Amino acid sequence: MAVTDTLSFTRVTTVGDFFALLKPRVMSLVVFTGLAGIVVAPGHVHPLTAFTALLCIALAAGASGALNMAYDSDIDRIMTRTATRPIPMGHIVRGDALTFGWAISAMSVATMWLFVNELAAGLLAFTVFFYVVVYTLGLKRRTPQNIVIGGLAGALPPAIGWAAVTGSLSLAPVVMVAIIFMWTPPHFWALSLWRCEDYARAGIPMLPVVKGKRTTRIHIFVYTLLLAPLGIVPAFIGLGGMLYLVLSATMGFWMLLEAFATLREKDEEREPAAKRLFGVSLLYVFVPFLALIAEHLLHLPPLWT
Amino acid sequence: MDDNSFDKNGKAGRERRKRNIALALALGGVVILFYLMSIVQWHENTGH
């Protein structure tokens, strides 16, 4: 245990501290998209197998969050947004968070391997590796393209869910992954526009810090321009029906409007358009994926077969 | 370090107890899940 850890450790670590370490809000989004992959995949698995797959996805996502907090605890202390996390607050020792994170990662991958299938376990292991090693330890502090490449880790859960049911991959899960992959940059760049000074203070080369806000606004708009048509592709490959098409097209158009407003934003102090875009982008993942789940549970026909 | 962290009946003691119960429940859950999944796999492999 490091001296600084001992000094900052001011009280007993609670269950709530460990729960906070799992990044429950991020975990809920990952579980949701993983569930979408399980529900829309063709074929049948025992409900308990599906539950186990979802539990493993949730635990691996939480463990990755814990490891991210452990490896980034030095910069989390500096940033306003992350200063209240359990490690900077001195509620959990960094070494404990590392043990907790790696133990749960290993357990979730092993459980997926034992009771679901090898492909799902392999993808889950790759996701943890990519998020922790490639993104957190590699890209985050080195390049403004950190979240573009690192976004792959957050995009993979639908493919893991699909693989858990079918034991294989096809075009449909790849398209679902591509949608989340393309959604990630505008989502995080919108956040970084009004947290720019925070990132600069911590020395993280986010796009607005390195290339300026103007370039970031253009990047956000271009990525959203690519995302909107990509979002409706599931309706034309036999994955989504009319409900999906209408909702994904509406959400895509809405996000495009907010991206355009962000492009034209003059209030660089408060960044109201970027804050609205951030909120709409959260809905962008939730609403169309919910439509996909609803269509499959209600046995509504796909638009294209 | 807070003196209370050594107090078995104080806040620190209660937090430790809660942590132990949470750990026991989590491990118990894993054991039950492994048991049930073993039955599911056995059924699937034997075609019962």
Please judge whether A52 and B16 are an interchain contact, meaning their C-beta atoms are less than 8 angstroms apart. no
pLDDT digit string (tens) for B3-39?
444 556 688 888 889 999 999 999 999 999 999 999 9
pLDDT digit string (tens) for A86-120?
999 999 999 999 999 999 999 999 999 999 999 99
DSSP label of A233: G
Confidence band for A6, pLDDT divided at 50, 70 and 90: very low
CA atoms within 13 A on the CB side of A63: 23
For tokens 């969050």, name the residue: A65
Which pLDDT does position B11 carry in this prediction?
82
* Chain B residues whose beta carbon lies within 8 Å of the beta carbon of residue A6: 1
Asked if A294 contacts A243 with a C-beta cutoff of 8 angstroms, the reply is yes
pLDDT digit string (tens) for A154-213?
999 999 999 999 999 999 999 999 999 999 999 999 999 999 999 999 999 999 999 999
Segment holding A256, helix H or strand E: helix A242-263
Closest approach of A197 to chain B, Cα-based (Å): 34
What is the model's pTM?
A: 0.91
Among B16, B32, B38, B40, pick the best mutation site for testing chain A contact (most A Cβ within 10 A): B40
Closest C-alpha among A179, A191, A150, A154 to residue A277: A191
Please judge whether A52 and B2 are an interchain contact, meaning their C-beta atoms are less than 8 angstroms apart. no
Asked if A49 contacts A38 with a C-beta cutoff of 8 angstroms, the reply is no
For tokens 């996805």, name the residue: A57
Cβ neighbour number for residue A98 with a 10 Å cutoff = 16
Token code pair at residue A181: 């992959």
The C-alpha atoms of residue B7 and residue A97 are separated, in whole angstroms, by 24
* Chain B residues whose beta carbon lies within 8 Å of the beta carbon of residue A52: 33, 37
Q: Does residue A55 belong to the interface with chain B, where contact is any CB pair within 8 Å?
A: yes
pLDDT digit string (tens) for A132-150?
999 999 999 999 999 999 9
Q: Does residue A9 belong to the interface with chain B, where contact is any CB pair within 8 Å?
A: yes
Asked if A293 contacts A39 with a C-beta cutoff of 8 angstroms, the reply is yes
Which pLDDT does position A261 carry in this prediction?
98
Find the angle CA(A233)-CA(A235)-CA(A236) to the nearest 5 degrees: 70
Tell me whether 0.85 is exceeded by the ipTM.
no
| Cα separation of the two ends of chain A | 59
